[in-house]
Amino acid sequence: MGSLEEQIAHSAPGLSHVVRVGLGERSYEIHIGEGLIDRLGEEARPLLGKAPAAVVTAEPLAISLGERALAGLRAADVEARMFAVPDGESAKTLETVSRILDFLVEHRLPRQSVLFAVGGGVIGDMVGFAAAIYLRGIDYVQVPTTLLAMVDSSVGGKTAVNHSKGKNLIGAFHQPRLVAADLTALASLPRREYRAGLAEIIKHGVIRDAELFETLEERIEPLAAREARLLGPIIRRNCEIKAAVVESDEREAGPRAILNFGHTIGHAVESLASGSGMLHGEAISIGMVGAGRIAVAMSLWAPQECERLRALLERAGLPTRMPPLATEAVLARMGHDKKIVGRTLRFVLPEAIGRVVLRDDVPADLLANAIEELKG
């Protein structure tokens, strides 16, 4: 326990962390440590009966992380098979979920089977959705292998696929039974993907935790370089923040929406620019600057704090300017975002580092200005 800096000071390689997500009978643990994939069967032992398990992963990860997960299950005498689906956001579709379901049906996996989602947020979201609807719902375990998935998408039970009209429009709430984040997986993650995960970490600082934000300001370069003793404590703190927000509002009736800071503009930019290969975390970085500027323009937030946010994102190697997209197109795309309440757009706006408010009264001209400014 203690402050984040104390935890970093006492951090040692091989140390494991456990964070509990308290949701009554849907409660579960997040395990963070080294080598968890290789002992996955042991980690998940309490969930596993005699039924076979299935590992679902992305094609490029199958021979590395997928095989390690299979071996980790078989070492604990769990009968397990693997299914690999095409990689990336463009494959986050109902069609891919349908293929996962075909695999489960073909192999007659019973209701007691457990699915293991080994991969980034795309795999986690799709496998979670498949688990939510196969036989009206079976258990699944998140085995996040990207930084973004470890600190954000694997926790909280939101599962989804994309629709051509917008991101994550089709999905369900279905909590995992366990999250096993193996820090050794991060070693092979491409640098750009790793940095995209830093965006959600910075987001958590802004919405809930000034101490985290200050530690990031202090240590963003070594964190970007994946310094081992920082990873455990930082990922743990992020899981604690996400868990606390989810516990307060599991199905996003209200307060959980603060996790969408940067996502109202970010999702629109992401879906318009994904053809050019923009990553989720990169789009969210741009969206956070946009939301920050709106907060400043509405006199909710001090301009110097917005500048601190922009400077930290840039030091993390993240973009803070939009690619050349028409402002009209971004506004139109936001209209399809499902976070609209009634016909108004909802924004998460900072009042201070560590505190945000939800507002659905952002004037249209001010929003258009903020998007225009993001191009500059």
Ligand X SMILES: NC(=O)c1ccc[n+]([C@@H]2O[C@H](COP(=O)([O-])OP(=O)(O)OC[C@H]3O[C@@H](n4cnc5c(N)ncnc54)[C@H](O)[C@@H]3O)[C@@H](O)[C@H]2O)c1
Helix (H) or strand (E) holding 192: helix 191-208
Please confirm, yes or no, whether 162 is among the known catalytic residues: no
Asked if 121 interacts with ligand X (CB under 6 A), we say yes
**Is 10 one of the catalytic residues?**
no
Catalytic hit among 174, 242, 310, 333:
242
- Contacts (CB under 6 A) with ligand X, residues 254-283: 280
Does 241 contact ligand X by CB under 6 A? no
Q: Enter the tokens of residue 269.
A: 């930019």
State yes or no: is 203 an active-site residue.
no
In a 13 Å sphere around the CA of 30, the CA atoms on its Cβ side amount to 29
Q: Does 166 bind ligand X (CB under 6 A)?
A: no
Does 148 contact ligand X by CB under 6 A? yes
69 scored as a contact of ligand X (CB under 6 A): no
How far lies 282's CA from each of 209, 274, 313, 349, in Å?
21, 11, 10, 19
User: Among 67, 247, 252, 373, which one carries the catalytic annotation?
Assistant: 252
Q: Which pair of tokens denotes residue 207? A: 């919405």
238 belongs to the catalytic site: no
Q: Interacting stretch for ligand X, rule CB under 6 A, among 23-31, 187-195, 318-326, 349-357?
A: 187-195
Residues 6+ apart with CB under 8 A from 185: 37, 65, 144, 145
Q: Contacting ligand X (CB under 6 A), which of 7, 96, 113, 145? A: 145
CB 360 within 8 A of CB 298: no
DSSP code of 155? S
Residue 88 makes contact with ligand X by CB under 6 A: yes
Q: Is 31 a catalytic residue?
A: no
Task: Report the residue number, 181 or 371, with the smaller CB distance to ligand X.
Answer: 181
Size of the site for ligand X (CB under 6 A): 30
Q: In the annotation, is 34 catalytic?
A: no
Q: Distance between CA 130 and CA 57 in Å, rounded?
A: 13
Q: Could you say which of 139, 152, 209, 240 contacts ligand X (CB under 6 A)? A: 152
Q: Which part of the chain contacts ligand X (CB under 6 A), choosing from 109-117, 119-127, 248-256, 302-310?
A: 119-127
Binding to ligand X by residue 247, rule CB under 6 A? no
Residue 270 bears catalytic tag: no
Which of 178, 196, 297, 349 is close enough to bind ligand X by CB under 6 A?
196
Asked if 195 is part of the footprint of ligand X (rule: CB under 6 A), the reply reads no
Measured CA distances, 151 to 80, 187, 239, 265 (Å): 27, 16, 6, 21
In order of 209, 251, 292, 364, the CA distances from 254 in angstroms are 19, 8, 20, 23
Contact pick of 11, 96, 113, 168 for ligand X (by CB under 6 A):
168
Q: Residue 35: left (phi > 0), alpha (psi -120 to 50), or beta? A: left
Residues near 332 by beta carbon (within 8 Å), at least 6 away in sequence: none
Sign of CA dihedral 267, 269, 271, 273: negative
Instruction: Give contact residues for ligand X (rule: CB under 6 A).
Output: 58, 60-61, 65, 87-89, 92, 119-123, 125, 145-146, 148-149, 152-153, 156, 158, 167-168, 185, 188-189, 193, 196, 280
Residues known to be catalytic: 136, 158, 200, 242, 252, 256, 260, 263, 267, 280
